[in-house]
């Protein structure tokens, strides 16, 4: 028995329900994160490589070695239409693991984006292609193809646990991961939250204070807030 | 007597003279910082959340607790037209304290922007609204409303001392704070500096060297500069 | 004999061949870096100050002291048309060493850009001028003119060795330095690489896998990769 | 059904076999990490707060909110002799969540240490007590007790997935997590590795080169290594 | 009238009451910070340069320019026995502003330590001298003496507002600043807190849970905490 | 002709004069750096892995790939008694490239230390061995042996240019590099500086102010320094 999860490609994964993914794609990252009870976010160093990049899809995970993008090539074969590749690394690395050639290959397989806890390059080409990438860095540094990692094992990517088949959503506010089993319920909760927010927005725009709308004055006074002149 | 400045909202503050604020709004952050003798800047990690964001206004200060945006709601009530909220935190935090709902409320009260030593979210909505925010991070992470901070006490925000009523100016070069009492004199000094720079710019564009225009050759030689071939 | 390389301005430098510079200007940073065997990059903290900034030219080096931009004025006189100023610092500093006045002077001398291991300011003006700058930070903080550094000595800028006369190229992927003596050969290797990539891109776009195109299946199996369901 | 893993305390957890924990306690972090196939490490920002701190025990996990140590008090009740508390946070925070009072309580319950993706304080007292703590920061900043997190749910702590009942080991090289089910096998593999290293150490000490001992000369030559004079 | 606070040395300052300073010197940084209501801390990047460094004294402030230690020499003359120099910088800088020569001079004037938002050097000598320094960095990099800053103006040092005459305390947990006017009251509050903690420590050591001692069970249940098996 | 400096081992290098190395070994890093005119320092993130680590020797350079320590094994063969290995990396990496086995081998070859722009592990063993290491990080993360770098080519290590045969010195203040050709002159300048400092130290200890000893009062007044009460 191997102790390690390295050197493995899992071919059959259970992807989140397509309807739930479609439903989730209508919401922003902040809304989905709130709908889940304020969990599931990657850390804020993961940023879109170009303005306006958005993605929502089912996850193919990759575990890479620092400075080595071999497993991204292995992952390409596992991509199904609508997938997003989520690439973690066994150690912090800002090298340019991903560029326009891999994006061409990923897109030909049906991928709708990449989230990578590492660096990307050819970012002008990627923007022109409209292939959304969320990464820790932008760096031209090339990588080798020498050491095994894995595909479709659970990974920690930028502080978030990600399982193959989960839903990942990225926009200007960051990246959130929704476990496959919770996708439908999260979409429903997000819809409720958004409806709720629309009503609140109108009241706030009309000049009502959050202090009154959320009934904060009493708890603030209880906590000891003092007004002075 | 309380030892702490926490748990206080000061309602009456002396805002900088409106004319001086208007005068300052015509200058960039670098010019104002120079006019003050090279002081008053926040640290360079405070960045506009969208390209083209500019702000200039009188300050309402907020002191928040990490991961807690309760005091932003309290601050909303203290906003007067033309104010900018400057939010510091008692400890480093990149959570998303501020989003489009609070922006809607702040705007309804007359606020013209936010500077926050923390994170913001809903940044696509904020850009669409044209509500300028300068922040340390962009992060979807939601916050709680549980612990008191203060409103309109002096704060340290990103390395700068800020008093309620001061003038704060933000553009692509960063954020600068002008004490209320110095606003008019600073605007005057900025105007002089800008006039001076226009003349210099023309001479430099015509090919004159700074070495000659600023009469640097002699002090450089005195300092020991050697030219070799 | 002086032990130090400080306090020196070298006037005569051997610039890379103009034809080679022109040839290199057609390629991106990632391609040139690969063509050189994956070396020559600056670290990824050096970023363009505005979207779309590109530069390619022969290097005039500057060694600055922290918080002091005196030597940038000295360097201006050494600029020849087509040069890029590459400014290193004797210690980490994010101050705003460079702004629109110096850019006006540099451009009047024929400079086509700046790479600086420090901060820049007036970035909206610089974008309007179309003067490309790659920097570690954007900061309004002004600098003094008090202490000697050097011009046209070898420097380490953001982790890369740079000699006067070398070719420096910057785009959205970062900054790469090509030694003057290797400029022509590098341009040739870059052209070959780009031709090669065009063919590969077409095959990948047609759905061929990198696993097959690069014949990776056998080495992956040898390394022990296991496929499971 | 709740979408969130917040607000939960799991009382019954399956701790790794005591014999395996004892066996693992004889090895260093680097050896255990290698024995697992080079996985399981926390990121290198987690450091012992005093020289000589070591820990090895079964994990009680805590998920805290930023600036809030309420759940550490909740966790105390779940500690059994030989446990190590591993505390993650829903967002990056360097506040001083833990000090000598909590250490006194944890020790009274049988805890043998703490790993925290946050800050600790009272570090001179903790050293005097001999209570080992591995943390991201040392900071006197106090925390509140206001918002729920969880105890004994799976967490991501400093980049590592940690389940309650796992084994965690900390020494001067960092912190490694061994899944409970792999504890015995990992201890066995670590013992083999250590035996193997003892033999190698002797040969290297006698002047034999790794180049020869590991038979690297041929693969290096194949890879193209050239020796020049 | 000058707009700037640069170029000034204030000779007469009101130092905190000597008895209050002596009283405060008996408490640790965490205790004092709590006694003040959880404010007054510098950020956690300010660390003692050697293990066991402690300081408590009245503040002489210095505002330095990056890479320039001229004002430390100016400050030496303003030191009175029992003072601690607190040195801020107009921009982030890790240069070695301070070493054993300045420490010799400061000590000869009666200084009992230094807090510096910058770098220190000669740290082995400083430890041998037993001269406590708290700094952002250790760096051998020398500095110049060329540009004016100020002495005994209010400064922001590592995120804390510091006025001349305040009390500053440093230990392994960091650095805290107590306004001169609050020194006596803070010492009193610290003494109460410490007495209170001694009692709590004994109860926790005897196995009582914080959950019970602090009566947390009810508020936790109200907040929705669920126990599962 | 190869464009790259990768894949090369230079066997014959010109080491700095042994007498000069011995002379330099008597001085601290700060003194040597000053003697050279304030250049030659590595950046301050390179720190000794244990208290009291010192090194001084002639340099064997290594250029490693991220996460790959193959070239350290290649370098071992090139070590001569008195050498210090200086290991740079083609990209930022904090992996544990070096541990006690390599230290055993390096020592058997006569090495007196290591400076590495990466991570080290087994640091308790290394301290017990008394083998001084200066590194960017401490991390248990293991590395592979798969990709070529070089030995004894010029490298940039932590911001400093290092040539094989140069002298490198490390102590608690950091690491400085002295070009081989300047070793003797630097040692001489360091001796003069140290003598000079001894005299100054005595005067400062006697209470003389730097203001008077360095005759700063006049230049300060000229610069505009104002004393106020």
Question: Percent of chain A, pLDDT > 70?
Answer: 99
Contact F226 E8 (CB under 8 A): yes
- Per residue in E55-80, pLDDT (tens digit) is 999 999 999 999 999 999 999 999 99
Residue F147's closest CA among A6, D225, A139, A148? D225
- Per residue in B35-52, pLDDT (tens digit) is 999 999 999 999 999 999
Residue C211's closest CA among A73, E118, D162? A73
Residue B172 binned pLDDT confidence (cut-offs 50, 70, 90): very high
- What's phi and psi for E127, nearest 5 deg? -65, -40
CB-count burial class (<10 Å; 0-12, 13-18, 19+) for F171: buried
Mean pLDDT of D163-184: 98
Note whether F161 contacts D: Cβ–Cβ < 8 A: no
Rounded Cα distance between C210 and A74, Å, is 8
- The Cα of B140 is separated from the nearest Cα of chain E by a number of Å equal to 23
CA distances from D113 to C208, D11, D51, D164, E208 (A): 53, 19, 14, 15, 19
**How do beta strands F160-162 and F155-157 pair?**
antiparallel
Rounded Cα distance between B168 and B16, Å, is 10
Rounded Cα distance between D66 and B65, Å, is 9
- Which residues in chain C are closer than 8 Å to A8, comparing Cβ atoms? 225-226, 228
Rounded Cα distance between B118 and B102, Å, is 15
How confident is the prediction for chain A on average, in pLDDT?
Answer: 97
- Per residue in C31-84, pLDDT (tens digit) is 999 999 999 999 999 999 999 999 999 999 999 999 999 999 999 999 999 999
- Which residues in chain F are closer than 8 Å to C93, comparing Cβ atoms? none
pLDDT of residue B4: 74
Is B21 in a helix, a strand, or coil? helix
- Which residues in chain D are closer than 8 Å to A39, comparing Cβ atoms? 4-6, 90
**How do beta strands E133-138 and E114-120 pair?**
parallel
Query: What HEC string does chain F produce?
Result: CCCCCCCEEECCCCCCCHHHHHHHCCCCHHHHHHHCCCCCECCCCCEECCCCCCEEEEEEEEEEECCECHHHHHHHCCCCCCEEEEEEECCCCCCEEECHHHHHHHHHHCCCCEEEEEEECCHHHHHHHCCCEEEEEECCCCCECCCCCEECCCEEECCEEECCCCEEEEECCEEEEECHHHHHHHHHHHHHHHHHHHHHHHHHHCCCCHHHHCCCHHHHHHHCCEEEC
Q: Taking the C-alpha atoms of E136, E140, E145 and E149 in order, what is their torsion angle to the nearest 10 degrees? A: 0
Rounded Cα distance between A2 and C71, Å, is 60
- Per residue in E204-218, pLDDT (tens digit) is 999 999 999 999 999
Rounded Cα distance between E24 and E188, Å, is 9
Extract the tokens encoding D214: 């590991």
- Which residues in chain E are closer than 8 Å to B4, comparing Cβ atoms? 36-39
User: Radius of gyration (Cα) for chain E, nearest Å?
Assistant: 20
Extract the tokens encoding C84: 């890029």
Residue B39's closest CA among E8, F23, C153, D184? E8
Mean pLDDT of A5-27: 97
How confident is the prediction for chain C on average, in pLDDT?
Answer: 97
pLDDT of residue C4: 74
Is there a contact between B32 and B109 (Cβ–Cβ < 8 Å)?
A: no
Residue E222's closest CA among D146, D62, A222? D146
Residue D1 has pLDDT above 50, yes or no: no
Residue D5 binned pLDDT confidence (cut-offs 50, 70, 90): confident
- Per residue in E140-150, pLDDT (tens digit) is 999 999 999 99
For C23: left if phi > 0, alpha if psi spans -120 to 50, otherwise beta; the answer is alpha
Residue A32 has pLDDT above 80, yes or no: yes
Contacts of C37 (CB under 8 A, 6+ apart): F2, F3, F4, F5, F6
How confident is the prediction for chain F on average, in pLDDT?
Answer: 97
Is there a contact between A89 and A114 (Cβ–Cβ < 8 Å)?
A: no
pLDDT of residue B1: 40
Enter the DSSP assignment of B203: H
- Which residues in chain B are closer than 8 Å to D144, comparing Cβ atoms? 65, 146-147
Rounded Cα distance between B186 and B193, Å, is 10
Rounded Cα distance between B66 and B116, Å, is 12
- In the complex, which subunits touch A with 3 or more CB pairs below 8 angstroms? B, C, D, F
* Angle between helices F100-109 and D183-205 in degrees, nearest 10: 0
Choose the closest CB to F3 out of C5, C90, C182: C182
Q: What is the DSSP string of chain D?
A: --S---SEEE----PPPHHHHHHHTTS-HHHHHHHTTS--BPPTT-EESSTT--EEEEEEEEEEBTTB-HHHHHHHTT--TTEEEEEEESS---SEEE-HHHHHHHHHTT--EEEEEEEE--HHHHHHHT--EEEEEE-----B--S--EESS-EEETTEEE-TT-EEEEETTEEEEE-GGGHHHHHHHHHHHHHHHHHHHHHHHTT--HHHHTT-HHHHHHHT-EEE-
Rounded Cα distance between A206 and E127, Å, is 63
Is there a contact between B43 and B156 (Cβ–Cβ < 8 Å)?
A: no
Is there a contact between C37 and C179 (Cβ–Cβ < 8 Å)?
A: no
Rounded Cα distance between B80 and F198, Å, is 62
CB-count burial class (<10 Å; 0-12, 13-18, 19+) for F208: middle
Choose the closest CB to E39 out of B90, B92, B161: B90
Residue E3 binned pLDDT confidence (cut-offs 50, 70, 90): low
Extract the tokens encoding D118: 């946050």
- The Cα of C106 is separated from the nearest Cα of chain A by a number of Å equal to 27
- Per residue in E84-141, pLDDT (tens digit) is 999 999 999 999 999 999 999 999 999 999 999 999 999 999 999 999 999 999 999 9
pLDDT of residue A4: 74
Is there a contact between B130 and B56 (Cβ–Cβ < 8 Å)?
A: no
For C207: left if phi > 0, alpha if psi spans -120 to 50, otherwise beta; the answer is left
- Per residue in F73-107, pLDDT (tens digit) is 999 999 999 999 999 999 999 999 999 999 999 99
Contact A173 B100 (CB under 8 A): no
Contact A121 C173 (CB under 8 A): yes
Partner F, chain C 82-101, Cβ-Cβ below 8 Å: 90, 92
- Per residue in A102-155, pLDDT (tens digit) is 999 999 999 999 999 999 999 999 999 999 999 999 999 999 999 999 999 999
Q: C-alpha angle C127/A44/A5, rounded to 5°?
A: 130
The number of CA neighbours under 13 Å toward the Cβ of E179 is 12
- The Cα of E143 is separated from the nearest Cα of chain C by a number of Å equal to 9
Residue A217 has pLDDT above 90, yes or no: yes
- In the complex, which subunits touch E with 3 or more CB pairs below 8 angstroms? B, C, D, F
- Per residue in D28-82, pLDDT (tens digit) is 999 999 999 999 999 999 999 999 999 999 999 999 999 999 999 999 999 999 9
CB-count burial class (<10 Å; 0-12, 13-18, 19+) for B194: middle
Chains E and B touch (3+ CB pairs under 8 A): yes
- The Cα of F81 is separated from the nearest Cα of chain E by a number of Å equal to 27
Contact B33 C148 (CB under 8 A): no
Nearest CA in chain C to F3: C36
- Per residue in C138-166, pLDDT (tens digit) is 999 999 999 999 999 999 999 999 999 99
Is there a contact between F72 and F85 (Cβ–Cβ < 8 Å)?
A: yes
Is there a contact between F63 and F6 (Cβ–Cβ < 8 Å)?
A: yes
Note whether E223 contacts C: Cβ–Cβ < 8 A: no
pLDDT of residue E5: 81
Residue E43's closest CA among E138, E125, E160? E160
pLDDT of residue A2: 55
Mean pLDDT of F112-127: 98
Is there a contact between E37 and E94 (Cβ–Cβ < 8 Å)?
A: no
Residue C165's closest CA among C175, C156, C148, C177? C177
Mean pLDDT of F108-125: 98
Partner D, chain B 46-85, Cβ-Cβ below 8 Å: 65-68
Rounded Cα distance between D158 and D117, Å, is 6
Q: What is the ipTM of this complex?
A: 0.96
- The Cα of C156 is separated from the nearest Cα of chain A by a number of Å equal to 18
pLDDT of residue E1: 40
Residue B170 has pLDDT above 70, yes or no: yes
Mutate which: D53, D160, D173, D202, vs F, most F CBs within 10 A: D173
How confident is the prediction for chain E on average, in pLDDT?
Answer: 97
pLDDT of residue F4: 74
- Per residue in A178-198, pLDDT (tens digit) is 999 999 999 999 999 999 999
Residue A5 binned pLDDT confidence (cut-offs 50, 70, 90): confident
- What's phi and psi for F70, nearest 5 deg? -55, -45
- Which residues in chain B are closer than 8 Å to C51, comparing Cβ atoms? 51
pTM beyond 0.90: the answer is yes
Mean pLDDT of D179-204: 96
- Which residues in chain A are closer than 8 Å to B142, comparing Cβ atoms? 30, 33-34, 38
């Amino acid at each position: 028995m191997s102790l390690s999860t390295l050197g493995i490609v899992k071919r059959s994964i259970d992807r989140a329900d397509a309807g739930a993914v479609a439903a989730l794609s209508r919401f922003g990252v902040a809304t989905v994160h709130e709908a889940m009870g304020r969990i599931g976010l990657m850390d804020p160093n993961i940023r879109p490589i170009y303005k306006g990049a958005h993605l929502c899809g089912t996850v193919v995970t990759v575990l890479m070695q620092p400075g080595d993008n071999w497993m991204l090539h292995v992952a390409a074969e596992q991509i199904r239409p609508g997938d997003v590749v989520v690439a973690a690394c066994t150690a912090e690395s800002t090298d340019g693991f991903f560029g326009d050639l891999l994006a061409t290959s990923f897109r030909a397989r049906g991928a709708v984006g990449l989230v990578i806890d590492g660096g990307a390059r050819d970012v002008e080409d990627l923007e022109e292609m409209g292939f959304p990438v969320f990464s820790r860095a932008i760096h031209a540094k090339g990588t080798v193809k020498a050491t095994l990692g894995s595909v479709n094992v659970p990974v920690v990517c930028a502080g978030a646990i990600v399982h193959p088949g989960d839903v990942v959503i990225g926009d200007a506010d960051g990246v959130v991961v929704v476990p496959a089993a919770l996708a439908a319920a999260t979409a429903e909760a997000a819809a409720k939250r958004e409806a709720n927010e629309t009503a609140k927005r109108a009241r706030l725009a009309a000049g009502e204070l959050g202090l009154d709308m959320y009934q904060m004055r009493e708890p603030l006074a209880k906590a000891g807030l003092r007004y002075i002149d």
